[in-house]
Chain A
Amino acid sequence: MKSTLNVEDFYNVILEIARLIHENKKYLTDLDSAIGDADHGINMDRGFSVVIDKVGKMDINNSDIGSLLILVSNTLMETVGGAAGPLYGMFFMNMANKAMGKREVDYKEFADMLEDGLKGVQEIGGGTQPGEKTMVDTLYPAINAFKRGVERGDIEGLKEVLLREAENGMKSTINMVAKKGRASYLGERSLGHQDPGATSCYLILKAFYDHM
């Protein structure tokens, strides 16, 4: 049973994220047009298309996971344009912290990286908690369930837990009133719509799932 991720896995995950975002560009933008400014899919796709370009030029055999994630972070912060740029930028920058110089991490280290990433998103979002109809509603339950599983030594089926929690978290935003971001101006009218940021977070965790 696989319980490590190496630099090539991360490289493939990044390409997979870009592919999933591109495939779902219209879907993400449609979700955003209901409660935001109708640009989430466009912005994310613009950012990740530059990411593929830059990551593609990296010499992956002579690189490490941290450097790869920093490159992703800087590129997203510079090119996404909307709030998702710095939020995902922080996610990947914080994930990189404990992976600098490493060419492989085990699931325990990976769980810590994800947790650091989540904390970064919560912090710069202004102390975002679950239940506020944001990216955190997908990341928080999924990452915490994964971390608990790793701590118990329960690796079998753990990636399925990560994906399931992410999907449930994403869907739970449908019944939430937005408390953060532009959607919060809508108040009760944000009910009944799935959050676009929670949805792109699901796609990102799905890409990790596919390579675990």
Chain B
Amino acid sequence: MVAIIIVSHSRKLAEGLKEVLDQISKGKVKVVAVGGAKDGGLGSNAIEIREKILSLSGEDALLVFFDLGSTIISTKAALSGIPKEIAKKTHLIDAPLVEGAFVATVEASAGSPVNDIIKAAEEARNARKFY
């Protein structure tokens, strides 16, 4: 199974997006929210990200989506401290957070191959809201 990890500066933002994605996937994709600093304020916590990644080590692939800058740095730091075989199947996705994670959830729920899910998620950056 493919798992989606949402990393945000805000725990509420990550959990809110998880709520939306869970409704779409109906349990076919595991969605995990990570967010905020250790004290509950805004920020990122590489140790928590590392623990979440390790807790999903049994999944086929992990796709990580971010909100802004330092969540990416935190995730890279988290990855440097975990076994290589888990790091190898963890993909950091260069996509807008909501649209990208949404498309990935739809694709993953439909059983698409990992590379196709990633490609679709990255293409979400071109998605327009008005036509």
Binding site for B on A (CB under 8 A): 43, 46, 74, 77-83, 85-87, 89-90, 93, 120, 123-125, 181-182
Contacts and interface: CB of A to CB of B under 8 A. Distances in A.
A74 B81 CA distance: 10
A87 B48 CA distance: 16
B48 A86 contact: no
Contacts of A87: 73, 77
B41 interface: yes
B47 A124 contact: no
Nearest to B48: A78
20 contacts: A74-B47, A78-B45, A78-B48, A80-B43, A81-B37, A81-B38, A81-B39, A81-B42, A81-B45, A82-B43, A82-B44, A85-B44, A85-B46, A85-B70, A86-B70, A86-B73, A120-B80, A123-B76, A124-B77, A124-B80
Interface of B: 37-39, 41-48, 69-70, 73-74, 76-78, 80-81
Contact of B70 (A74, A82, A93, A120): A82
Contacts of A120: 80
Given A81-B41, A124-B77, 11 more contacts: A74-B47, A77-B78, A78-B38, A78-B45, A81-B44, A85-B70, A85-B77, A86-B78, A90-B80, A93-B81, A120-B80
**Chain B: interface secondary structure?**
helix
A78 B46 contact: yes
A74 B44 CA distance: 13
Nearest first, the 3 A-B pairs at minimum CB distance are A81-B43, A86-B77, A83-B70
Contact of A77 (B42, B46, B69): B46
* Secondary structure type dominating chain A contacts: helix
A181 B69 contact: yes
B68 to A, nearest CB: 9
Given A90-B80, A120-B80, A124-B80, A77 B73 contact: no
B117 to A, nearest CB: 24
Nearest to B42: A81
A144 B69 CA distance: 28
Contact of B73 (A43, A74, A78, A124): A124
A110 B69 CA distance: 31
A105 to B, nearest CB: 22
A79 B77 contact: no
A83 B38 contact: no
Given A77-B74, A81-B37, A120-B80, A86 B69 contact: no
Given A77-B46, A77-B47, A81-B43, A89 B77 contact: yes
